[in-house]
Amino acid sequence: MARCATAQDERAGAGRATPPFHAITPFTMLDYPGRIACILWVAGCNMRCLYCHNPQIVAGKGTIGEEQALAFLRKRKGLLEGVVFSGGEATTWTGLAAFMARVKVLGYAIKLDTNGLRPDVIARLLEGDLLDRVALDYKAPLHKFRTVTGASVFARFARSLDLLCGQHRIPVEVRSTIHADLLGEEDILEMAHDLSRRGYRGTYALQRAVAGPDRPTLGDLPADTRPFDAVRLARLSPLELAVR
């Protein structure tokens, strides 16, 4: 698949060929279902989501190099089972596929957390059998996508969604972060119906945005205390919802 990069992609990846990682979370039992894992946080991102509370990762540069990360993983063999690549946005890193191949050699399962703006990279990772699980963030429906994410490339996300829904080798979870200032119940239902039309049959996960004075976001959002009707959403959604 041909590379389709934007200037924002180039800015996200520019100047950080090494070191690529902002940080390593050494242990998690929550981020990789069914596996004890660590998280490698890739610096840089091709979105500017208003509810993002990791601006230091999105706009910053990495401080941990590939060899340092691999040394960590070698020491944890037998203790950890999986590696989660998150960010930022891991697919903006040009060395991602090659590094994942090295992680695979160590015997780890790999999960990718992605915003889906690089369908070419996701296709390459699938073709190389480098992925064991994917979490895809559905940020907003088409008419709100640019407002929420700062990126006007919904079509590229949709290609990733179709690609992942069209394969059955690895499990995929689609999830949305919800803040009432940005998305309402009808937006949630619109995304759920879009997922169903594209063939997604998994659980659709909804998670509240973390925001407030002690958790600043890129969009300086207030804490979201307004409830949404989970019972109504469950009744009208064509997919099973998991509210977190």
Cβ neighbourhood burial of 238 (10 Å; 0-12, 13-18, 19+): middle
Number of H helices, E strands in the chain: 9, 8
* Segments in the chain below pLDDT 50: 1-8, 10-16
pTM > 0.85: yes or no = yes
Q: Are 239 and 138 in contact (CB under 8 A)?
A: no
pLDDT given for residue 214 in this prediction: 81
- Looking from the CA of 234 toward its CB, the CA atoms found within 13 Å total 7
Distance CA 213, CA 39 (A): 26
Q: Which amino acid is at 190?
A: E
Alpha carbon 232 to its chain centroid, in Å, reads 27
Main-chain dihedrals φ then ψ at residue 143, nearest 5 degrees: -70, -10
User: Cis omega (within 30 of 0) on the bond before 19?
Assistant: yes
Main-chain dihedrals φ then ψ at residue 176, nearest 5 degrees: -130, 140
Distance CA 132, CA 232 (A): 34
pLDDT given for residue 60 in this prediction: 85
Distance CA 230, CA 223 (A): 19
* Cβ-based neighbours of 230, under 8 Å, separated by 6 or more: 241, 243
SS3 218: coil
Name the residue with tokens 């979870």.
173
| pLDDT tens-digit readout, 133-175 | 999 999 999 999 999 999 999 999 999 999 999 999 999 999 9
pLDDT given for residue 212 in this prediction: 84
* Cβ-based neighbours of 34, under 8 Å, separated by 6 or more: none
Strand pairing class (21-28; 37-42):
antiparallel
Cβ neighbourhood burial of 244 (10 Å; 0-12, 13-18, 19+): exposed
Q: Are 192 and 154 in contact (CB under 8 A)?
A: no
β-pair partners for 133:
111
Alpha carbon 114 to its chain centroid, in Å, reads 3
